[in-house]
A and B are shown apart, each in its own frame.
Chain A
Amino acid sequence: MAEFSWEVRSPLERALVAGPYGARGDAGVSLTEIRNFDLVQVMARRGKAADMAGAAKARFGVAAPARPEAVQISDAALIWSGPDQFLVLSKGGKHAIEQLSQAFASSASLSDQSHARVLISISGAKVRAMLAKLSSIDLHPASFPIGAAAATSMDHTSVTLWRGNDRTDGQAVFNLLVFATFAESLWHTMLDSAAEYGVTIARSEELA
Chain B
Amino acid sequence: MRITCPFCGERELGEFTYLGDAKPARPAVDAGEDAVFDYVYLRDNVAGAMSEHWYHGGGCRAWLKVTRNTLTHEISVVEPAAGVGAAKVGA
Nearest CB to that of B90 among chain A residues?
A: A47
Interfacial chain A residues near B8, Cβ < 8 Å: 68, 150-152
Chain A residues in 8 Å Cβ range of B91? 46-47
Interface of B is mostly: loop
Closest chain B CB from A140 CB (angstroms)? 14
Chain A count of residues within 8 A CB distance of the other chain: 22
Say yes or no: A158 contacts B86, CB within 8 Å.
Answer: no
Q: Are B11 and A47 in contact (CB under 8 A)?
A: no
Number of A-B contacts (CB under 8 A): 63
Chain B's interface size range is: 20 to 34
Measured CB to CB, the nearest residue on chain B to A83 is B85
Main secondary structure of the interface of A (DSSP, over half): mixed
Docked Cα-Cα span, A136 to B5, in Å, equals: 14
Whole-angstrom CA separation of A43 from B85 in the bound complex = 9
Chain B residue nearest to A158 in the complex (CB): B58
B48 adjacent to chain A (CB < 8 Å): no
Contacts of A46 in B (CB 8 A): 86, 89, 91
Given contacts A83-B86, A153-B58, 10 further A-B pairs with CB under 8 A are A43-B86, A47-B87, A49-B87, A82-B7, A83-B7, A83-B60, A84-B87, A152-B59, A153-B15, A153-B59
